[in-house]
Amino acid sequence: MDRTETLLIADLCEGDETALAPLVERYKRMVYRLAVQITKNHADADDVMQETFIKVYRSIHTFRRDAAFETWLYRITVNEALNFVKRRERRRECTLETTVETEYEATARHHAQLANDPHTQAEKSELRQYVTEAVNSLSLKHRTVVILHEFEGLTHAEIASILNCSEGTVRSRLHHARKKLRTLLKPYVDAGVI
Amino acid sequence: MRSKCEKIERLVPDYIDRTLSERQAADVALHIRSCRSCKRAVADEKKTQHLLKNFYVEPEASDTYYAQFTTQLQKRIEQSAPTALHQRFAAATTRLGWELLTHVYRYADRFRPSRFISIRQHAVPYYVLAFVMTVLIATPLLLTQVSMHNNGEHTRFPSVGVQSAVTLAIQQDKTTTESAGIRRNMSSERTTETPTVGSGSDVWKFTNEPMVDGYILTTLHKNSSDTMPSVALDIDSELLAYAEFPSQGAIWVRRTSRDVLTEGRYALLLLRGINTGQQALQEYKRKRSELKGFSQKLLDVPLEMFSVAAVHDPIEL
């Protein structure tokens, strides 16, 4: 945690609301990325983001200064997102197979179209879409650990701390998730696309 | 051999990530030299990880979205902070007064002879503005300063809040000598009396007795689908109820529940655990002192002063 961040957190603890904006600015992309990957929906991710930063604002005094703020924020975001998905599934308000194109999906397609080589553009685009869908098809628990480990680069211990479970559980979930991903991506692996 | 392969298979991802101990890594390396299937598993795992790292599309939103988000968040933080009851009452009164004056002015204007049009007519909006400003300043002062002396105790006059967003009512039976009028409604002795509160009831009644147990009847309403009620009644995750006790200050009650209370229905929150009002006050002060240095807005963040024993839907009672 750098000095600026430490000062911002201290200021926020002292009741200086203006200290929240720089923290939001610094972490908004991370929180959005994580929220949208767990909820798989832009609108839900927006709600999760709001709740996350509101919680940071209200509970900053409970943050232990010796811990990393980023890990604390990860914990809040992941928990908010998981709770949101669970609530959503309970109410059956929104299905995961929504046909409404979200900003997330639009962005995904945009990224998929960014291949430089014109000969392999369609192939790479398809591959990107397939890999992204493979990750999204994982169960909530498996997807969460894969996102945190593979894409956010967190260690098993950090993930265990965030999800409030043992390292063994994290390893086990990761193992099963990877196994499923290997199966899903097998056609591309066998075809030697890469 | 097969059990060995299964064991190695579990270690393959960490072997590729180079997070295994030297001994474990050496074990895996030795095994894959002699086992073709495990060697292939390592190669497949490497390719899978390569696919994930290079072809997975991480979501990203536009800068416009982030700008909008920051504005909305700022607005929500400003709105979510609970304000004092008299402030909300003053705001409601001002709005009501302004609407009333506008209608009166328009009505009177219909009967005004055209020959009376003069400079004074143009000054009417300024008169109205001056009157509203006076009301705005005077009302909170009157509300906070009007008091009554009762049993040697300085007691604040109960406020009557008119809120379109949330109707909150605390009722206490004045006719009985004890506050048992509330207790009768507790879950164990629920059969005798069920409180009836109409949709338009904005009733705040207090006795001078310390509140031992009680209930809050809440009607949940949203202004629109986009905005949450102004008194931070968060329907989704937690239920907040605001209660003001004579001479004991304002207290927030928070109940986190999995149950989602439907909009537009009454929720009966049975409160338990306030032994005496004085004790509640001390607890409130203690909580405040812990948060020393915080802004007033943060001080008003819901305090878990006492537990809510149960939530009942009065329709079921």
Q: Which CATH number fits domain A113-194: 3.90.1150.10, 1.10.10.10, 3.40.50.300, 1.10.3720.10?
A: 1.10.10.10
Q: Mind telling me how many Å the CA of A194 is from chain B's nearest CA?
A: 8
B86 in the same domain as B47: no
Contact B59 A36 (CB under 8 A): yes
Provide the pLDDT for residue A27: 92
Provide the pLDDT for residue B81: 56
Q: What is the C-alpha end-to-end distance of chain B, expressed in Å?
A: 67
Percent with pLDDT over 70 in chain A: 80
pLDDT in tens, B62-89: 888 888 888 888 888 777 654 555 656 7
Q: Of A112, A52, A115, whose CA–CA distance to A84 is shortest?
A: A52
Q: How confident is the model at residue A90 (pLDDT cuts 50, 70, 90)?
A: confident
B137 in the same domain as B168: no
Q: Is residue B65 part of a domain?
A: no
**Is B184's pLDDT higher than 60?**
no
Residue whose tokens read 């503005």: B129
In DSSP notation, B170-206 reads B---SSSSSTHHHHTTSGGGTTS------TT---B--
Residue B114 tokens read as: 């055209």
Residue A114 tokens read as: 């960014």
Residue A47 tokens read as: 């709600």
Q: Treating both helix axes as pointing N-terminal to C-terminal, what angle do A69-91 and A20-39 enclose, rounded to 10 degrees?
A: 40
| Distance in angstroms (rounded) separating the CA atoms of residues B302 and B290 | 14
Q: Treating both helix axes as pointing N-terminal to C-terminal, what angle do A156-163 and A69-91 enclose, rounded to 10 degrees?
A: 50
B295: nearest CB among A15, A33, A54: A15
Q: Under CATH, what is the fold of the domain A1-99?
A: Rna Polymerase Sigma Factor; Chain: A (1.10.1740)
B132 in the same domain as B108: yes
| Distance in angstroms (rounded) separating the CA atoms of residues A31 and A29 | 5
Q: What is the C-alpha end-to-end distance of chain A, expressed in Å?
A: 38
Q: B209: which DSSP letter?
A: S
Q: Of B206, B300, B202, B299, whose CA–CA distance to B247 is shortest?
A: B206
B298 in the same domain as B206: yes
Provide the pLDDT for residue B162: 28
Which of B12, B40, B55 finishes a domain? B55
B85 in the same domain as B47: no
Pairing of strands B249-256, B266-271: unpaired
Q: Mind telling me how many Å the CA of A149 is from chain B's nearest CA?
A: 11
Q: Is residue B126 part of a domain?
A: yes
Q: Give the residue, B125 or B263, on which the prediction is more confident.
A: B125
Q: What is the mean pLDDT of residues B240-268?
A: 39
**Is B48's pLDDT higher than 70?**
yes
Percent with pLDDT over 90 in chain B: 0
Q: How confident is the model at residue B15 (pLDDT cuts 50, 70, 90)?
A: confident
Contacts of A61 in chain B (CB under 8 A): 291, 294
**Is B200's pLDDT higher than 60?**
no
Q: What is the mean pLDDT of residues B206-221?
A: 40
B308 in the same domain as B164: yes
Provide the pLDDT for residue B85: 58
| Distance in angstroms (rounded) separating the CA atoms of residues B270 and B249 | 20
Q: A22: which residues sit within 8 A by CB, 6+ positions away?
A: A4, A8
Say which range, B4-8, B25-29, B142-146, B231-235, has the weakest mean pLDDT: B231-235
Q: Tell me, what amino acid is at B207?
A: T
Q: Which domain holds residue B186?
A: 159-312
Contacts of B58 in chain A (CB under 8 A): 33, 37, 151
**Is A11's pLDDT higher than 90?**
no
Whether A151 and chain B come into contact, CB under 8 Å, resolves to yes
Provide the pLDDT for residue A32: 93
Domain count, chain B: 3
Residue B210 tokens read as: 């310390």
The model scores a pTM over 0.95: no
Q: Of B258, B160, B170, whose CA–CA distance to B206 is shortest?
A: B170
**Is A84's pLDDT higher than 70?**
yes
Q: B294: which residues sit within 8 A by CB, 6+ positions away?
A: A14, A15, A61
CB-side neighbour CA atoms (13 Å) of B83: 14
> At B312, is the secondary structure helix, strand, or coil?
strand
Which of B121, B145, B169 finishes a domain? B145
B123 in the same domain as B234: no
Are B251 and B303 in contact by the 8 Å Cβ rule? The answer is yes
Q: Is residue B219 part of a domain?
A: yes
Q: Is residue B9 part of a domain?
A: yes
**Helical H runs in chain B?**
2-17, 22-34, 36-55, 63-80, 85-110, 119-122, 124-145, 180-183, 277-290, 296-299
φ and ψ of B301, to 5 deg: -65, 140
Q: How many CB atoms lie within 10 A of CB A173?
A: 22
Are A54 and B80 in contact by the 8 Å Cβ rule? The answer is yes
Q: B114: which DSSP letter?
A: G
Provide the pLDDT for residue A75: 92
**Is B265's pLDDT higher than 50?**
no
| Distance in angstroms (rounded) separating the CA atoms of residues B45 and B34 | 18
Percent with pLDDT over 90 in chain A: 26
Q: Is residue B67 part of a domain?
A: no
Mean pLDDT: which of A122-131, B30-39, B151-160, B267-276 is highest? Answer: B30-39
Strand partners, B239: B255
Q: B236: which DSSP letter?
A: T
Are B308 and B274 in contact by the 8 Å Cβ rule? The answer is no
B196 in the same domain as B89: no
B139 in the same domain as B95: yes
* Ranges of each domain in chain A: 1-99, 113-194
A127: nearest CB among B13, B55, B73: B55
pLDDT in tens, B273-315: 344 444 544 555 555 454 433 323 323 333 333 334 344 444 4
Q: Of A146, A128, A143, A164, whose CA–CA distance to A40 is shortest?
A: A143
Distance of CA A67 to the CA centre of its chain: 20
B256 in the same domain as B192: yes
Contact B69 A124 (CB under 8 A): no
Q: Tell whether the torsion through CA atoms of B184, B188, B189 and B193 is positive or negative.
A: positive
Say which range, A63-72, B15-24, B294-303, B307-316, has the weakest mean pLDDT: B294-303
B39 in the same domain as B117: no
Residue A34 tokens read as: 């994580």
Provide the pLDDT for residue B191: 27
| Distance in angstroms (rounded) separating the CA atoms of residues A54 and A20 | 10
- In this structure, what is the dihedral angle of CA atoms B110, B114, B118, B120, given to the nearest 10 degrees? -20
Q: Is residue B225 part of a domain?
A: yes
B166 in the same domain as B302: yes
Provide the pLDDT for residue A148: 92
**Is B8's pLDDT higher than 60?**
yes
Provide the pLDDT for residue B279: 52
| Chain B residues in contact with chain A using a Cβ-Cβ cutoff of 8 Å | 10, 13, 44-45, 47-62, 65-66, 69-70, 72-74, 76-77, 80, 236-237, 260, 291, 293-295, 297-298, 301
Q: What value does the mean pLDDT of chain A take? A: 80
pLDDT in tens, B128-173: 888 888 888 888 777 765 443 333 333 333 333 323 223 233 333 3
